[in-house]
Structure 1
Amino acid sequence: MSKWKLYWVASDGLEDCFVVAKSSRSAKRIEKEMNGFENQDLRATRIMDIPDKYEILANRKFRDWSKKHDYNKHLDVENLIAWPYYADKWLLDELGAEYRTIEGKEEILINDFVITSDNIYPVGVRAMQELAELTGVKFPDISNVSYEGMRKTLDNMLGICITTIHKIENYITDSFIFAIGNEKYGEFTIKEVTKLWKRKLTFGKLIKLIQERYEIDEDIHHALILFLTQRNRIAHGLTKDERYEIETVWGQKELVAYLALF
């Protein structure tokens, strides 16, 4: 017997919703019949399987509601079934959904998916698994890691990222040492020059000098700016950002996804 599944069905950003169905086709059909969307306008993302016990509970709730409101009285109420249909909030709560609002936008976290009015993306273990499949890179297995264990894993990942940042910065600064330009440097060796300007120059200023004094390919330019932006986020308080708050499980899952991608 095919199990019931929870889907997120996206359409126009206003009618997006959770649907319980046995297939993505069935989930989209609910939205087509209820709101008149065309099939090509709908995207169904499978969120998770629903344990059988909730089917029994959903049917009981639906039958009790039908009796109370004298609904479907022309049918055998005792044999009514609740699904396929939209998912009620009680079901989402039972499945572990969490809610928060950031910058005025409501977000839902469920089974390592973050869902907003205009986006859905993976976090935590799911994000690492999807990235590993795309890149072939192996990441630490955190599928059975506890809250405390995840924090330790993140501390390790942050350390690896900082070390990587230092390496990349060193490669770039050594490659563009003559971007600085100063007549007195002619009196020194390359090693001495490096020590002199490294003490005076921020990485951001170096990027600016490189752009001013060299013809840089557009893709390289964007890569340098992207690296500088992400480097600054990690080095200057990423773990206290509202979205990536390291003291919360949700924030930790967002951090895992962010650092794995970095």
Structure 2
Amino acid sequence: MSKHYPIGTTVWQELRVASDSGLAAFYRAVLDWELELEGDRGRFRAADGEVVAGLQLVEDLAPDAAGWIAFLGAGDLAADVQRAVEAGATVMEEGVRLAVPGDAVLLHDPFGAVFGIAELPAGSGTVPSGALGHLSMVDPTNHDLAAQIEFQLALFPGAAVEALDHGIHFVRDAAGNVLRGAYEVAPEARAFLPPHWLPWFNVVDQGAAVEAAAVSGGRINTRDNELSFGIWGVVVDPAGGEFKALQLSRDEL
């Protein structure tokens, strides 16, 4: 089935939190985003005017359930969800309402992390790019890299894995598009860092972005990490949403 996005890439991301307190100022300072909030739903708009992410407020959300959720672009939603289930995922919620038009399903991957699969019409969603304030990729991270890669390759046929520096792996489709990253949590960090899907957002200056996070109600998990394609840090917003701020050193991944 022909789509306006590469099948299997991230086509949308939403932040699910219990409160929006401090979020508008935080994301304006760190990613140069503006939050457009209506009731319990919102959208984040980047400096270039593009809508790049959604926000959902869930009043009784448990603190450990707050965070970013990546939705992968389906070719055929039912078939792609079924293939994910056959690979070890479990369905959490069907008929998920997003901040953009489209149909979506929320799942747990085999390691307990949350992700989604969505089928979006043309003009909805946003795909990874090197543009400032946009998503560069999402990184499914867990405690067993080989098992994670096996699951990622089973999700969408035709993908291949490329090993990079510092244990980072890219999952690319047949056309060479980076669909996702993959990384194994260090043994010493596994007690406090469970499996998760972590979005990477592009910034002008990684150091300035993480410093802005610290003075805007968030916190810094790590910073100044160098890779062949850029420098990154991990920050957490005031509501518990975690992401990587990536300063790209080249135009594309």
Structure ID, larger Rg: 1
Q: TM-score, normalised by structure 1?
A: 0.24
**Going by fraction, where is strand more abundant, 1 or 2?**
2
**Going by fraction, where is helix more abundant, 1 or 2?**
1
Q: TM-score, normalised by structure 2?
A: 0.25
- Higher RCO, 1 vs 2 (CA within 8 Å, ≥6 residues apart): 2
